[in-house]
Amino acid sequence: MSELLAKPGVQLDLDGSHLTIDEAVSLARHGGRCTLSPEAARRIEATRALKQDLIAREIPIYGVTTGFGDSAHRQISPAKAAQLQRNMLRFLGAGTGQTASPEVTRATMLMRANCLAKGNSGVRLELIERLLELLNHDVLPLIPERGSCGASGDLVPLSYVGRTLTGETEVLYEGEVREASDVLASLDLEPLELEAKEGLALTNGTSFMSAFAVLAVADARELAFVSDLCTSMASQALLGNKGHFNAFIFEAKPHPGQIESARLIRSLLEGTTLAKDSEELFLEGDLHGAGFRQLERSVQDKYSIRCAPHVTGMLRDTLEWVERWVSIEINSSDDNPLFDPGAGRVQSGGNFYGSHVGQGMDSLKVALANLCDLLDRQLELIVDEKFNIGLTPNLIPYIADNDPEAGLHHGFKGMQLSCSALTAEALKLCNPATIHSRSTEAHNQDKVSMGTIAARDARSIVEIAQHVAAIHMIAICQALDLRGVEQASPAARAVHALVRTRVPFMDGDRRMDADVAAVVELIRDGALSRAALGG
């Protein structure tokens, strides 16, 4: 048994309607076990019976007793229907690019099973149960990431899932790449012989793009918190004005995400003596007869601090509707055609089209790229001696001018260069994918969603944002050490203490790539937010 499955995981009873994003992410990352609900099984069997009846009556049914796409006008006999499905899985084996990660593959298999559990696809109960059995044993097809236009679903990527059931592809099992047929034999399973519609039902859906989407949504939620945490700590390191986050300001412009970000930043600032409210900064307002005076601290911080809730709040509000769209998508019948036992008919449509996932991911990309830019600008304020309110240049340790080490160290200069490059890449990737429709498949798929490319881009920007946030967090902790971390808020001190278990104070130039990787892991597993909230 794999190391993943040796750990307790989520237990899911799939019915096609109630799978949550958090459940999907938990299973994708920590394993678990899935079964079909009895009600789903009844629906599946009723729909399959209708399919069999329609086939026996020799009614032409798209992709069942006709060819696919531009071959939809070519009807075949019922005797050829099964071979048509096998051939479909074979000719779609044309993916390229890197292999999808195990967590993406688990999520893909889970959502393909859940969409089929909706009970409108006309497949056998055995097909879905076999898919779940392989998922429960962590038998993962090697799915190339490239090859889907996201219109007739994720045809090319999902064909690798289908061929796992038939034993005609390679899989990852117990840490080794093996032939699916060999793994099936080791589990005492026979390769599945597909029947009419089943190859199409396995491939004609949005499960691959949705797998990237659920993971991106979960990680973006955490990044919203980490961004607000960074802002609260940067405000302290820069001796900022915490009055910028007072409730009055945000109640006057009540975007819910913006209100939440400001509330969180205020709570994370509680107890600090570094950042002060306006009334604390300027206790005396009398010029004492003078016509001018130079204030020791500005009445307003730079936009990247003062307007941070407006940026991160926009991400939070984007997530609110993106999560709703993705939740609907993963609990839908997303293939074609669909069978309606109540009406006794089969109906063709376009539920495989990935428009909502694509638009949602394109929008999430822009919000996340803006977050990267925000944190990159905050980092500039912290490392630049022109703006960091008395901290050292590039956050080098305090070194006397007559010290032999004076002039030799450049501290966080390399870290800022890396952060700037990461941010530029995030901004480049946020170009919307969904506007780049391509007419393909003999002009049958003449308008396509490109949802899978959008979702993969969102994944990439999430990973970039995690690294930008990690670099920023390490810099803030260095700045608080230089400023006097004992003056920081309890939340900031807790986060600083956690980071210091992985990353030591930078007392002289050293490589810091391993430090970044260590803090990225703290972000990914939610450790930073738990520390900030006292969890």
> Which residues are annotated as catalytic?
62
Q: Are 222 and 526 in contact (CB under 8 A)?
A: yes
Per the structure block, which two tokens stand in for 488? 């920081």
Rounded CA-CA distance 464/476 in Å is 18
* CB neighbour list of residue 502: distance below 8 Å, 6 or more residues apart: 515, 518, 519, 522
Question: Which residue do the tokens 């006292």 mark?
Answer: 534
Residues across the chain: 535
Per the structure block, which two tokens stand in for 514? 């391993």
Rounded CA-CA distance 192/513 in Å is 47
β-sheet bridge partners, residue 146? 96
Please state, in angstroms and as integers, the Cα–Cα distance from residue 492 to each residue in 271, 480, 488, following that order: 10, 9, 6
**How many Cβ atoms are within 10 Å of 239's Cβ, its own excluded?**
20
Helices assigned H by DSSP within 174-206: 180-186, 198-203
**How many Cβ atoms are within 10 Å of 245's Cβ, its own excluded?**
28
β-sheet bridge partners, residue 34? 12
Rounded CA-CA distance 347/459 in Å is 34
Rounded CA-CA distance 432/426 in Å is 12
Buried b (16+ CB within 10 A) or exposed e, 135-145: bbbbbbbbbbb
Rounded CA-CA distance 241/81 in Å is 71
Please state, in angstroms and as integers, the Cα–Cα distance from residue 75 to each residue in 67, 332, 350, following that order: 7, 28, 20
Q: Are 143 and 95 in contact (CB under 8 A)?
A: yes
Cis status of the peptide bond prior to 102, with omega within 30 of 0? no
